Structure formats: C-alpha cells, structure tokens
Structure 1
Amino acid sequence: MIKLGLIGFPLGHSFSKNYYLSKFENENITDVDYDLYSLENINQFPNLFLNDNRFKGFNVTIPYKQTVIDFIDDLSVEAKQIGAVNCITIQHIGDKVLLKGYNTDAFGFETSLVPLLTPQHDRALVLGNGGAAKAVLYTFDKLGIPYTIVSRSKTNGNLTYEQLNRDIISSHPIIVNCTPVGTAPNIEEAPQIPYEYITNRHLLYDLIYNPAETLFLKKGKLQSAITKNGHDMLILQAEKNWQIWKDNF
C-alpha cells in the first residue's frame, strides 16, 4: 500500500484527506492511502518516512511550508523562487531517501485567477505576507501585475491596514486575502480594509474556502465587486499534486 499524507499543526478540518480518499474510491484506486499527520514540531517529520518506504509523498500546510525546506534535497523551480513547499515526493533508493519539494499553490492560484482578469485589473493589493502569500506574489510577478503588500506591521515598504484609503483601494482593483482572518469558525471576522471604497471594478479573491463565502467576500459583493474563494485553487493544486506523485510511484 502506497502512503501519502498531510503534515501541519494543528490539523482540524482537512480538505485534503476527504478529497483524496473520495478520489481514490471514485476512480477505483485501491493501492494508495492518504492520512493526516499532525506534528507539533517539524523535527518529527523524518520519523514518518525514514523507516517506512511505503511513503511516496506529502502535502504540507501551516505552519511548515517554509521550515520543511530544511529537510528537502531538491526543489522545483517555482518552489525555489517562492521559498515555500506544499507538495513533496519521496524516493527510496537503496539506503538513501530523497525528497523533492514543489509548490502547486501557485499553479492553483494562477489557473483559477486568470479567467477572471480583465485589462482593468492591472494592480493588486495582497493582504498578508506569510507563507500563503508567497505563491500569490510569485504569480503576480509571473503575470507582470504590480502589487502592494498589506500587513499588520510596517516592514520593507509594506503598507499597514491603517494606511489604506480611497486612493489606494481605487488604484488596486485586485485585492487578495492571504490571511486566515475569516476562516471557520471565526466567520464574523474580516480583514480591516475600507470596503466602502470598493467598486464594480474590483476583483476580491480569498484564499479561504471554508466558509464558501467569507465576510471579506460578502462585503466585496455588497459593493458589486467580482468575488472568488479558494475552493477552485484547492482542487487545482490537489490534482497537480496527484500528477506529481503518480509520476514518482
């Protein structure tokens, strides 16, 4: 039995396990299993696969997308540029165990975003500067869309939420929430931006998929903005992960 899994902490609600197990059942894949591995410390990670050659890959989620790189032998081009990994392949070659890291979040984000873009969507406001934002920034660089980062503290030229005003909101018709604010069960929370300046020219994208419509998106929709949640991004990256793992089996 081939083993795949998700590492992170804490692992409460997991899209990945349900998605892959349903996929395996629907496609009659009987020789692969997927499970959750909640690790309080990333240093516990090697204990999973070093003595069990059934492991062929992992997904990585918060808070280990960056720290897991210390355990990886090789990085794909996009993972190296982004500096974050959400997909790992494992090869057992004799006594050696080789790990390669990928970032499929960028693929998922780009593929789900591009169909929504129009010529007016020429600048982006990125809320948050953590690991989740890295794939988003990489994608905007790739698409040639300038962006401004908003974070709670002012560093490296980032804006703070308190600095946001009509001019900034008006000149950034794409706004992406890369923070966990608004994730279930905290569905009454939303990033503190001046929503009254959002118009029908805006596209609001939330990486959160649970709930399906966050307060951030609801507030944007009230201002006639186009809105998009993170569900399609999640499906796209999950399928990309599966392709990568299958090629490694």
Structure 2
Amino acid sequence: MIKLGLIGFPLGHSFSKNYYLSKFEDEEINDVNYDLYSLENINQFPSLFLNDNRFRGFNVTIPHKQTVMGFIDDLSIEAKEIGAVNCITVHRSEDKVSLKGYNTDAFGFETSLTPLLTPQHNRALVLGNGGAAKAILYTFEKLGIPYTIVSRSKTNGHLTYEQLNEDLISSHPIIVNCTPLGTFPNIEECPQIPYEYISNRHLLYDLIYNPVETLFLQKGRSQNAITKNGHEMLILQAEKNWQIWKDNF
C-alpha cells in the first residue's frame, strides 16, 4: 500500500483527505491511501518517511509550508521562487531517501483566475501578507499584473487597511483575500475595506472555500462585482499534486 498524507498543525476538517479518498474510491485506486498527520513541530516530520518506506508523498499546510523546506533536497522552480512548499515527493534508492518540494497553489490560483480576467483587470490589491499570499504574488508577477499588498501594519511599503480610499479601490480592479477572515465558523468577519467603492469593474477572489460565499464575497456581489471562492483553486492544486505523485510511483 502506497501512503500519502497531509502534514500541518492543527488539522481539523480536511478537504484533502476527503477529496483523495473519494477520488481513489471513484477511480478504483485500491493500492494508495491518504491520511492526516498532525505535527506540532516540523522536526517530527522525518520520523514519518524514514520509518515507513510506504510513504511516497505529502501535502503541507500551515504552519509548515516554509519550515519544511529545511528537509527538502530539491525544489521545483515555483517552490524556489515562492519560498513555500505544499507538495512533496519521496524518492527512495537503496541507501538514500530524498525529498523534492513543489508549490501547486500557484498553478491552482492562476488556472482558476485567468478565465475571469479582462483587459480592465490590470492591477491588484492583495489583502494579507502571510504564507497564503506568496503563491498569489508569484502568479501576479508571472502574469505581469502589478499588485499592492495590504496588511495590518505599515511595513515593507505595504498599505494598511486604514489607507484604503476610493481612488485606491477604483484603481485596483482585482482584490484577493489571502487572510483567514471569514472562514467558518467565523463567517461574520471580513477584511475591513471600503466596499462602497467596489463596482462592476471589480473581480473579488477569496482563497477561502468554507463557507462557499464569505462576507467579503457577499459584499462584493452586492456591488455587482465578479466574485470567486477558493474551491476550484483547491481542486486544481489537488489534481496537480496527484499527477506529480503518480509520476513518482
């Protein structure tokens, strides 16, 4: 039995486990299993794949997407440039175990975003500057879309939420929520931006997929903006992970 899994902490409800186990059942893949491995300390990670040669791959979620890179022997171009890993392959030879790290978040975001883009979507506001934002910034750089980061503190030239005004909102027709604000069960929360300046020229994208429509997206829709949640991005990156793992089986 080939073993795959998700590492992170804490791990509650997991989209990944449900998704892959359903996929395996639907496609009659009987020799692969996927499970959750809650690791409070990333230094616990090697004990998983070193003590069990059935492991062939992992997903990585918060808070380990960056710290896990200390255990990676090789990085894909995207993972290296983004500085974060969410997919790992385990390679085994007679006397060595090596890991390669990938970032499929960027693939998922770009593939789900680009069909929505029109020529007017020429500048972006990125809400939040944590690990979730890294793949988003990489994608905008790849697409040649200038972006401005909005964070709670005025560091590294970022804007603060208090600085957002009509001109800034109007001149940034793409707004991406990379914060956890609005995630279930805290569905009454949303980033504090002046939603009254959102228009039908805007595209609001939320990385959150639970709930299906966050308050951020509700407020955008009420202003006639195009809105999209993170569910398709999640599915796209999950399928990309599977292709990467399969090539290593």
State the match for 2:209 in structure 1: 209
* CA offset digits 1:134-170 (Å, max 9, x no partner): 0000000000000000011111100011111111000
State the match for 1:74 in structure 2: 74
Give the match's secondary structure for 1:248: coil
How far apart are residue 208 of structure 1 and its match? Answer: 0.4
State the match for 2:83 in structure 1: 83
TM-score (norm 2): 0.99
Task: Tell me how far apart the structure 2 counterparts of residues 66 and 177 of structure 1 sit (CA, whole Å).
Answer: 20
Runs of 5+ in structure 1 lacking a partner?
none
State the match for 1:111 in structure 2: 111
Task: Tell me how far apart the structure 2 counterparts of residues 161 and 7 of structure 1 sit (CA, whole Å).
Answer: 32
How far apart are residue 95 of structure 1 and its match? Answer: 2.2
Give the match's secondary structure for 1:63: coil
State the match for 2:9 in structure 1: 9
Q: What is the aligned-residue identity percentage?
A: 86
Task: Tell me how far apart the structure 2 counterparts of residues 174 and 155 of structure 1 sit (CA, whole Å).
Answer: 22
Runs of 5+ in structure 2 lacking a partner?
none
Task: Tell me how far apart the structure 2 counterparts of residues 220 and 124 of structure 1 sit (CA, whole Å).
Answer: 15
Q: Does 1:24 pair with 2:27? A: no
Task: Tell me how far apart the structure 2 counterparts of residues 75 and 187 of structure 1 sit (CA, whole Å).
Answer: 36
Runs of 4+ in 1 over 6 A off after TM superposition: none
TM-score (norm 1): 0.99
Task: Tell me how far apart the structure 1 counterparts of residues 144 and 12 of structure 2 sit (CA, whole Å).
Answer: 36
How far apart are residue 93 of structure 1 and its match? Answer: 1.0
Task: Tell me how far apart the structure 2 counterparts of residues 161 and 114 of structure 1 sit (CA, whole Å).
Answer: 26
Task: Tell me how far apart the structure 2 counterparts of residues 147 and 71 of structure 1 sit (CA, whole Å).
Answer: 32
* CA offset digits 1:192-232 (Å, max 9, x no partner): 11101100000000000000100000000000000000000
Task: Tell me how far apart the structure 2 counterparts of residues 53 and 26 of structure 1 sit (CA, whole Å).
Answer: 26
Task: Tell me how far apart the structure 1 counterparts of residues 101 and 140 of structure 2 sit (CA, whole Å).
Answer: 21
Task: Tell me how far apart the structure 1 counterparts of residues 195 and 247 of structure 2 sit (CA, whole Å).
Answer: 45
Counterpart amino acid of 2:44? Q
How far apart are residue 132 of structure 1 and its match? Answer: 0.7
Task: Tell me how far apart the structure 1 counterparts of residues 70 and 146 of structure 2 sit (CA, whole Å).
Answer: 30
* CA offset digits 1:60-80 (Å, max 9, x no partner): 001111111001000000000
Q: Does 1:39 pair with 2:63? A: no
State the match for 1:244 in structure 2: 244
Task: Tell me how far apart the structure 2 counterparts of residues 166 and 111 of structure 1 sit (CA, whole Å).
Answer: 30
- How large is the Cα RMSD of the aligned pairs? 0.5
- Number of aligned residue pairs: 249
